[in-house]
Amino acid sequence: MFHDVRMRGFKERADVAEVQAWIDALAIATRTTSVGLDASHGRVLAEDLVSAVDVPSFARSAMDGWAVCSDDTLGASDTDPVLVKVIGTTLPGRPHEGEVHGGQAVRIMTGAPLPRGADAVLRAEDGEQREDELQVRATVPRGRHVGERGEDVKAGTPLLRAGRRLRPQDVGLASSVGCAQLTVHAQPVIEVIVTGDELLPAGSQPEGANITDANAPMLRALIARDGGRVETVAMLPDSEAVLRAALEESAADVVILTGGSSVGEEDHAPRLLHELGTLSFHGVAMRPAAPTGMGTIDERAVFLLPGNPVSCLSAYDFFAGRLVRRMAGRSPEWPYRSQHGRLTRKIASVLGRVDYVRVAVDGDAITPIMTRGASILSSTTESDGFVVVERDSEGHPEGTEVTAYLYDL
Amino acid sequence: MFHDVRMRGFKERADVAEVQAWIDALAIATRTTSVGLDASHGRVLAEDLVSAVDVPSFARSAMDGWAVCSDDTLGASDTDPVLVKVIGTTLPGRPHEGEVHGGQAVRIMTGAPLPRGADAVLRAEDGEQREDELQVRATVPRGRHVGERGEDVKAGTPLLRAGRRLRPQDVGLASSVGCAQLTVHAQPVIEVIVTGDELLPAGSQPEGANITDANAPMLRALIARDGGRVETVAMLPDSEAVLRAALEESAADVVILTGGSSVGEEDHAPRLLHELGTLSFHGVAMRPAAPTGMGTIDERAVFLLPGNPVSCLSAYDFFAGRLVRRMAGRSPEWPYRSQHGRLTRKIASVLGRVDYVRVAVDGDAITPIMTRGASILSSTTESDGFVVVERDSEGHPEGTEVTAYLYDL
């Protein structure tokens, strides 16, 4: 049964953990896509990358110097050099084609293929060449400074596993095995709907009874950070008909709507979501962001975030972002670094409610910012991060060791 | 005097710290650029952002309910309600234009301007309206649930300081003060030059005596991560004339060249840099990446990185990346998260040399990966990060507490 909260208030609020469990259990489309190497950094592999080739496909020198027969160098030293004859040069990409026999050597550069017959490399520092005569001044055992075929990668080896978020060196490795395209998780497509007759679009000068929207540009940045792609940002009036059409017609994977989710007369979104699909939650036991709601319309997840920008940020990070990250193939957990420290002031909370407390972090000292309210976005730009007070806690006295999550990535 | 190291080896090697100090002292062009809000996330502010406006520019309600005169509500409670008359509605963006007198109230939604005459808001939960008659069931003091003009931002306030790397909420805040464009540090323009006759371009199948380049795609990702922009990637043969032309004609802020920097015959880059500008360092006391060189040509910084991909990664992170990050307005320090732990195996090093040791990290346990060599890029994809052994250390015994830098951001 639908409980219309408008002008009445919430009957009961869901637990944060319960809502997160619902998000984690949502059946999501696991779309994959193929991207070129240059677009692959930071994306998440959707299948194992297995090399089809040996890298390198030949034995090569690990140093600049001379390719030699190791037996020739036995006993050679600075004071007792051995003489051999240099019969050619092998360069990277330009191999010496002949064979090397005892008493012979070939100049070799790092990365060059070892000529047939040679089995070790004498470093440049350990020899001196005059004309075609080389003084060998060190003993090199068989295989010294030689990288065998496949020493970096052997054909058939799984190099990177599905689920891996690609690092710069992963991209380099994929290139080295001849892989030009990688199969990665597709970016979930997000539609952002901003409602509120008082709102002017981002970039406008605020004036009169109007304020300029902060949520759409903030959500755009959050969603991009989490691996999603914002396809459309719609700014809609507080009209039930307009909002209904937008929710029905969206082609996005996830709709994130801000404003119009609470108990006000113009808050149509929860009832519309109930009518068009399922309103799974409305009202969460947290502060700020208590009026958050969510559900599904067909295969589409719909998040109703409060219009107050601090609540919007908090509700995005707790809920919507969790799904975006998961659909992008990433860990659903916060992307924030965490840091331990001690509270310089107590935090008061209420049993049964999760609190999102903005804090200043200075070394080991964690100081709650006097919050002033969920509409004060500057409270999140003045703070370094946040501390979460769990539902089973009434808060923490001064001096408690807590974990702060840092906004600065 | 120029010491030609080709086929001779390095006479002496510079200290890592000395080279880093040189990079930090390089005079760099501090170009700024203006970007729209949607492109500003992650960029670094080049000047303070000061608000020209109050946000909001009116007193507003923090709750849904009724705007009331607080004096009317004195003593009101659930069991002893007070009756007042509702004379209108004020909505966000659609204010009630009349004045509120004693005994009157106006329905109000969160974010709506408080009508003249009213001085407090009664929450929806604390009143019950039938027709135009409101039962006030709680006492609300003056100012309750009212956000004053400028409560979020006061005109003239510096909101964000120059040097700030913009977070999602910063972008939102900038929007809310009517700022459509932000002045940020320009991305340094980087040219990547890959040399090596054995190399095939990224995306090619390796074959014969050739290997496929790993460095250009890896450097592209590293440079993008650090806030730089790769304008061109040139793949050049081991030809002195071609390389000379490329170095002379580059229009980039920074040239990063890989390969051709060591003591091999075909390693022209150091002498060319000496001829065309200044070769400030060639040879660094570190492992891997000892053959790293760098200098300047006119205003341009030029880094000569070893062609071995592990050395290239290490030298980029120690040196070139430091400059890229600094030019982008960021901290020159590594962007990696660090983690403390204990070595499960000893690390051997040599006094006077910095070692970059790839490690596996499992909770508190840090295990050095048997390295095999600087050409083994898979050693950096198999490891979770690295440990640095400083120059004054001969290594660390098993059990030593060390700091690991994690590749996974």
B92 touching A (Cβ < 8 Å): yes
Indicate the pLDDT class of residue B92, thresholds 50, 70 and 90: confident
B97 touching A (Cβ < 8 Å): no
Residue A153's DSSP bridge partners are: A55
Contact at CB, B309 and A110, closer than 8 angstroms: no
Contact B192, B219 (CB under 8 A): yes
Which residues in chain B are contacts of A263 at CB distance < 8 A? 64, 124
Contact at CB, A377 and B172, closer than 8 angstroms: yes
Complex ipTM tops 0.95 = no
Quote the pLDDT of residue B284: 95
* Residue A391 φ then ψ, to 5°: -65, -30
Quote the pLDDT of residue B106: 97
Q: A37 to chain B: nearest residue by CA?
A: B217
Q: How far is CA B321 from the centre of its chain?
A: 12
Residue A230's DSSP bridge partners are: A190
Quote the pLDDT of residue A6: 61
Indicate the pLDDT class of residue A380, thresholds 50, 70 and 90: confident
Q: How far is CA A346 from the centre of its chain?
A: 34
Quote the pLDDT of residue A1: 55
Kindly give, in sequence order, each residue whose CB lies less than 8 Å from that of residue B383, ignoring residues fewer than 6 positions away.
Answer: B358, B359, B360, B369, B407
Quote the pLDDT of residue A132: 96
If one compares B17 and A260, the residue with the highest pLDDT of the two is B17
Q: What's the pLDDT tens digit per position in B313-327?
A: 999 999 999 999 999
User: Residue-wise over A132-157: b if at least 16 C-beta within 10 A, else e?
Assistant: eebebbbbbeeebbbbeebbbbeeee
A62 touching B (Cβ < 8 Å): yes
Segment A322-345 shows an average pLDDT of 96
3-class SS of residue B100: coil
- Is domain A337-406 classified as CATH 2.40.340.10? yes
Q: What's the pLDDT tens digit per position in A102-127?
A: 999 999 988 899 999 999 999 999 99
Segment B353-358 shows an average pLDDT of 95
Q: What single-letter DSSP state applies at residue B53?
A: S
**B contact test, residue of A123, A205, A212 with most B CBs within 10 A:** A212
Quote the pLDDT of residue B197: 86
Separation between Cα atoms, residue A369 and residue A382, nearest integer Å = 9
Segment B215-244 shows an average pLDDT of 95
Quote the pLDDT of residue B3: 65
Q: What's the pLDDT tens digit per position in B139-179?
A: 999 999 999 999 889 999 899 999 999 999 999 999 999 99
pLDDT of B30 > 90? The answer is no
Which residues in chain A are contacts of B262 at CB distance < 8 A? 64, 110
Q: A204 to chain B: nearest residue by CA?
A: B178
Going from N- to C-terminal start, the domains of chain B cover: 16-31+187-327, 33-55+151-185, 60-147, 337-406
**How far B298 CA lies from chain A's nearest CA (Å)?**
30
B36 touching A (Cβ < 8 Å): yes
A160 touching B (Cβ < 8 Å): yes
B20 touching A (Cβ < 8 Å): no
Q: B317 to chain A: nearest residue by CA?
A: A168
Contact at CB, B168 and A219, closer than 8 angstroms: yes
Burial of A1 (0-12, 13-18, 19+ CB in 10 A): exposed
Indicate the pLDDT class of residue B262, thresholds 50, 70 and 90: low
Of the CA atoms within 13 Å of residue A300, those in its CB half-sphere come to 23
Segment B367-382 shows an average pLDDT of 82
Segment A226-242 shows an average pLDDT of 93
Q: Which pair of structure tokens corresponds to residue A387?
A: 């501390």
- Write the class of the CATH domain A33-55+158-185: alpha beta
If one compares A7 and A92, the residue with the highest pLDDT of the two is A92
pLDDT of A71 > 90? The answer is yes
Checking B330-333 for CB contacts under 8 A at 24+ apart, the result is B330/B44, B330/B165, B330/B226, B330/B227, B332/B23, B332/B24
Contact at CB, B111 and A375, closer than 8 angstroms: yes
CATH of domain A16-31+187-327: 3.40.980.10
B208 touching A (Cβ < 8 Å): yes
Contact at CB, A375 and B177, closer than 8 angstroms: no
Separation between Cα atoms, residue B326 and residue B228, nearest integer Å = 10
Tokens 């003591």 belong to: B263
Among the ranges given (A35-39, A91-95, A343-347, B134-138), the one the predictor scored with the smallest mean pLDDT: A91-95
Which residues in chain B are contacts of A92 at CB distance < 8 A? 196-199, 209, 238, 266
Q: What's the pLDDT tens digit per position in B3-14?
A: 666 655 666 889
Separation between Cα atoms, residue B246 and residue B381, nearest integer Å = 32
Which residues in chain B are contacts of A333 at CB distance < 8 A? none
Which residues in chain B are contacts of A89 at CB distance < 8 A? 265
Quote the pLDDT of residue B28: 82
| Closest Cβ–Cβ partner in B60, B125, B175 for A212 | B175
Question: Homologous superfamily of B33-55+151-185 in CATH?
Answer: Molybdopterin biosynthesis moea protein, domain 2 (3.90.105.10)
**B contact test, residue of A198, A213, A222 with most B CBs within 10 A:** A198
Contact at CB, B152 and A313, closer than 8 angstroms: no
Q: For residue A332, is the peptide bond before it cis, meaning its omega torsion is within 30 degrees of 0?
A: no
Burial of A23 (0-12, 13-18, 19+ CB in 10 A): buried
Quote the pLDDT of residue A408: 87
Quote the pLDDT of residue A261: 66
Separation between Cα atoms, residue A61 and residue A56, nearest integer Å = 11
Separation between Cα atoms, residue A374 and residue A386, nearest integer Å = 14
Contact at CB, B169 and A91, closer than 8 angstroms: no
Q: In what order do the strands lie in the sheet with A104-108?
A: A120-123, A65-68, A104-108, A82-90, A133-136, A127-130
pLDDT of A7 > 60? The answer is no
**How far B244 CA lies from chain A's nearest CA (Å)?**
20
Indicate the pLDDT class of residue B72, thresholds 50, 70 and 90: very high
Which residues in chain B are contacts of A196 at CB distance < 8 A? 92-93, 111
B334 touching A (Cβ < 8 Å): no
Q: Which of A19, A378, A12, A44 is nearest to A218 (CA)?
A: A378
Contact at CB, B206 and A178, closer than 8 angstroms: yes
pLDDT of A378 > 80? The answer is yes
Quote the pLDDT of residue B379: 86
A264 touching B (Cβ < 8 Å): yes
Q: What single-letter DSSP state applies at residue B9?
A: -
Tokens 């009213």 belong to: B118
| Closest Cβ–Cβ partner in A38, A95, A217 for B37 | A217
Segment A267-282 shows an average pLDDT of 93
Contact A31, A183 (CB under 8 A): no
Q: What's the pLDDT tens digit per position in A203-224?
A: 899 988 899 999 999 999 999 9
Indicate the helix (H) or strand (E) that contains A85: strand A82-90
Q: What's the pLDDT tens digit per position in A8-37?
A: 566 688 999 999 999 999 988 779 999 999
Q: Domain B60-147 belongs to what topology?
A: Molybdopterin biosynthesis moeA protein; domain 3 (2.170.190)
Indicate the pLDDT class of residue B265, thresholds 50, 70 and 90: low
**How far B9 CA lies from chain A's nearest CA (Å)?**
6
Quote the pLDDT of residue B4: 67
Mean pLDDT of chain B: 93
Indicate the helix (H) or strand (E) that contains B65: strand B65-68
Which residues in chain A are contacts of B35 at CB distance < 8 A? none
**B contact test, residue of A176, A229, A268 with most B CBs within 10 A:** A176
Separation between Cα atoms, residue A114 and residue A88, nearest integer Å = 12
Quote the pLDDT of residue B408: 87
Q: Which pair of structure tokens corresponds to residue B287?
A: 């492992």
Q: What's the pLDDT tens digit per position in B322-344?
A: 999 999 999 999 999 999 999 99
Segment A303-307 shows an average pLDDT of 94
User: Residue-wise over B290-311: b if at least 16 C-beta within 10 A, else e?
Assistant: bbbbbbbbeebbbbbbbbbbbb
Indicate the pLDDT class of residue B204, thresholds 50, 70 and 90: very high
**How far A277 CA lies from chain B's nearest CA (Å)?**
26
Quote the pLDDT of residue A265: 61
Quote the pLDDT of residue A4: 67
Indicate the pLDDT class of residue A372, thresholds 50, 70 and 90: low
Contact B257, B266 (CB under 8 A): no
Cβ-Cβ contacts under 8 Å between A and B: the total is 318
A262 touching B (Cβ < 8 Å): yes
**How far B177 CA lies from chain A's nearest CA (Å)?**
7
Which residues in chain A are contacts of B172 at CB distance < 8 A? 214-215, 217-218, 221, 309, 313, 377
